[in-house]
Amino acid sequence: MKNNTYLFEEVKTIVEQKFRKESADHDWYHIERVLKLAEHIQDQEGGDLLVVRLAALLHDISDHKLNGGVKNDCGRVSREILTKLNAEKELIDRVCSIVDKVSFKGAGVEDEVGSLELDIVRDADRLDAIGAIGIARAFHYGGKNNRSFYEPDLGPSLHSDFESYSSDKSHTLNHFYEKLLLIKDRLRTKTAQKIGEERHQIMAAFVADFLKEWNVKFK
């Protein structure tokens, strides 16, 4: 068993090396922001800091948006990494349980219940999906995947399962209605809820302005 600081730094190095190569919507800077948000929430809410830090670093390690598939494989890959680093089995189990439950799986799919550490990491990841950064990430991802900004005749879908959500190819503005504008009410920690309220208002104002400009309205 390696000491906690060394283990954290080893995992951080592995994750940074991998995500430096990813595009801006899911790059190392996203991981770093989620880590900082998770550390801040943990400081206010409590919980195991090492578990929170490791899960924040590993939460996207094999996300379906990055691995070319429709299935998240973060738990298995995280277990391989932590096992190679001789982490304790209990710690590995706790971290992997979190990373398997972080992802949003559709507007009609309830979030899985788990530990305080899960709430912290999931809230941190979702906070980085909203607000000014969230807007930038959404349109970057849409552009990368050749999705239009907006198609007025194509309304949003409130997906009832992960398969339909992960395979949806709709325009970027629908993503706000299908996920981003719903996040505020799905945050579980009080610290994240406070941050989320401000970021939600930024997005809501953006969507209103976007539609006003799209429709060329002056009132």
Position with higher pLDDT, 214 vs 5: 214
* Residue 64 is assigned to a structural domain of this protein: yes
Going 134 to 72 to 104 to 37, the CA torsion angle's sign is: negative
* Residue 69 is assigned to a structural domain of this protein: yes
* Residue 24 is assigned to a structural domain of this protein: yes
* Residue 183 is assigned to a structural domain of this protein: yes
Element (H, E) at 191: helix 190-214
* Residue 99 is assigned to a structural domain of this protein: yes
Instruction: Return the structure tokens found at 16.
Output: 């940074």
CATH code, 98: 1.10.3210.50
**Domain containing 97: what range?**
4-214
Which pLDDT tens digit goes with each residue over 171-183?
999 999 999 999 9
Which letter, b or e, does each residue of 149-179 get, where b requires 16 or more Cβ atoms within 10 Å of its Cβ? eeeeeeebbebeebeebbeeebebbbbbbbb
Cα 54 from Cα 48, distance rounded (Å) = 10
CB count in 10 Å sphere of residue 16: 13
Number of domains in the chain: 1
User: Does residue 129 contact residue 200 with C-beta atoms inside 8 Å?
Assistant: no
* Residue 219 is assigned to a structural domain of this protein: no
* Residue 91 is assigned to a structural domain of this protein: yes
* Residue 154 is assigned to a structural domain of this protein: yes
For 58-62, 130-134, 161-165, which range has the lowest pLDDT when averaged over its residues? 161-165
Question: Residue 145: pLDDT above 60?
Answer: yes
Question: Residue 75: pLDDT above 90?
Answer: no
Which pLDDT tens digit goes with each residue over 123-138?
999 999 999 999 999 9
